[in-house]
């Protein structure tokens, strides 16, 4: 059943309920359902790919300016480094162990635009670094990670540290190695970004070598928008409608006319009845979805490779122990 049809059914259940409010109640009910359980439709997976370090050629950066000019060799290296999995405007610019600046523009000739003015000592035709240390969550309604794994090194990254911990360990971000931690950094605030407002994460130590990081996580889920939008197959419209009717009956009770009780339905009774139906259906759909959730985690659980002690990956030639 589509979003508009569910709202129409709610509208037909309660006299004088505004249709636009019925739309709101359907989404409110759907949100209650999403937050009541870990559903398989809110589990996701994907991958980050860290691009190689770009440092060929020379760069000129001026204190107080938000633009950086590069020579022909650097321009060629930057253009050659453009990749669909990591645009130049998703990477960071740095000189030495100075500040880390987001690149928000590249004219393909000789000029980089930074997200803020360059606040380190000016440099004329000197060395530089372009790499990616900040990575975007795959959706704006991201909730949390289940696991992030370096597939080549057979390494599960740490997910429970915050920026103050990393700042104490490596305040200048001078540790260049394969990353071992995923650190919450904030949200994407880059002007004109296609992922504006998405959660942003730092891979630490500094990611300057090409690796694939397979990630698994949980999202919050999003509301229905278009009248033709439908619910995930794992839940039925009867579950959402039961919850939405509870809110509709609550509205009707609050807006009851001052008339004898026998002149209109007993909305308090209807609230109790539909609440009982909602709980029954919720239990039913949760039980049906449990196998999908269990299967997801059984094959993606963190540290599967390292709980048994020492390990060796023949592809990467990497050995270690936990």
- Using one digit for the tens of pLDDT, what is the confidence trace for 8-31? 999 999 988 999 999 999 999 999
Which DSSP state fits 230? B
Q: Are residues 69 and 184 in the same domain?
A: yes
- What is the overall mean pLDDT for the chain? 89
Q: Decide: 41 and 296 in contact? Cβ < 8 Å.
A: no
Q: Are residues 282 and 163 in the same domain?
A: no
How far apart, in whole angstroms, are the C-alpha atoms of residue 16 and residue 264? 13
Task: Collect all residues with Cβ–Cβ distance below 8 Å to 168 and sequence separation of at least 6.
Answer: none
Q: Between 317 and 240, whose confidence is greater?
A: 240
The position carrying tokens 């994407």 is 188
Q: Are residues 244 and 202 in the same domain?
A: no
Does 175 map to a domain?
yes
Q: Which domain holds residue 97?
A: 44-220
Closest CA relative to residue 144, chosen from 18, 306, 302: 302
Total domain count, the chain: 2
pTM of the model: 0.84
Backbone dihedral angles phi then psi of residue 179, each to the nearest 5 degrees:
-60, 145
The per-residue pLDDT for range 146-202, each reduced to its tens digit, is: 999 998 888 899 999 999 999 999 999 998 878 999 999 999 988 778 899 999 999
Q: Are residues 243 and 282 in the same domain?
A: yes
Closest CA relative to residue 102, chosen from 120, 90, 118: 90
Q: Are residues 148 and 166 in the same domain?
A: yes
Q: Are residues 145 and 208 in the same domain?
A: yes
Does 213 map to a domain?
yes
The per-residue pLDDT for range 44-101, each reduced to its tens digit, is: 999 999 999 999 999 999 999 999 999 999 999 999 998 889 999 999 999 999 999 9
Q: Are residues 157 and 287 in the same domain?
A: no
How far apart, in whole angstroms, are the C-alpha atoms of residue 150 and residue 155? 5
């Amino acid at each position: 059943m589509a979003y508009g049809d569910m709202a129409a059914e709610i509208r037909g259940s309660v006299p004088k309920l505004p249709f636009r409010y019925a739309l709101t109640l359907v989404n409110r009910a759907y949100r209650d359902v999403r937050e009541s359980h870990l559903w398989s439709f809110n589990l996701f997976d994907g991958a980050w790919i860290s691009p190689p370090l770009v440092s060929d050629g020379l760069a000129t950066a001026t204190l107080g300016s938000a633009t950086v000019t590069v020579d022909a060799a650097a321009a060629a290296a930057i253009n050659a480094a453009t990749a669909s999995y990591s645009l130049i405007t998703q990477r960071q610019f740095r000189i030495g162990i100075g500040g880390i600046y987001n690149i928000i523009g590249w004219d393909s000739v000789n000029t980089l635009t930074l997200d803020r003015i360059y606040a380190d000592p000016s440099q004329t035709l000197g060395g530089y670094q372009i790499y990616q240390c900040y990575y975007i969550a795959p959706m704006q309604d991201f909730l949390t990670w289940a696991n992030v794994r370096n597939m080549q090194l057979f390494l599960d990254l740490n997910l429970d540290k915050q920026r103050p911990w990393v700042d104490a360990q490596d305040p200048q971000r001078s540790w260049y190695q394969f990353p071992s931690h995923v650190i919450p950094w904030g949200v994407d605030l880059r002007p004109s970004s296609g992922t504006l407002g998405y959660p942003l994460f730092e891979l630490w130590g500094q990611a300057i070598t090409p690796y694939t990081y397979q990630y698994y996580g949980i999202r919050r889920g999003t509301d229905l928008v278009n009248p033709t939008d439908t619910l995930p197959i794992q839940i039925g419209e009867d579950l959402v409608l039961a919850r939405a009717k509870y809110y509709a009956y609550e509205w009707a009770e609050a807006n009851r006319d001052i008339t004898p009780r026998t002149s209109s339905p007993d909305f308090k009774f209807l609230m109790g009845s539909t609440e009982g139906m909602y709980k029954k259906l919720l239990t039913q759909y949760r039980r049906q979805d449990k196998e999908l959730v269990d299967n997801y985690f059984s094959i993606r659980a963190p540290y599967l490779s390292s709980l048994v002690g020492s390990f060796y990956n023949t592809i990467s030639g990497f050995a270690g122990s936990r």
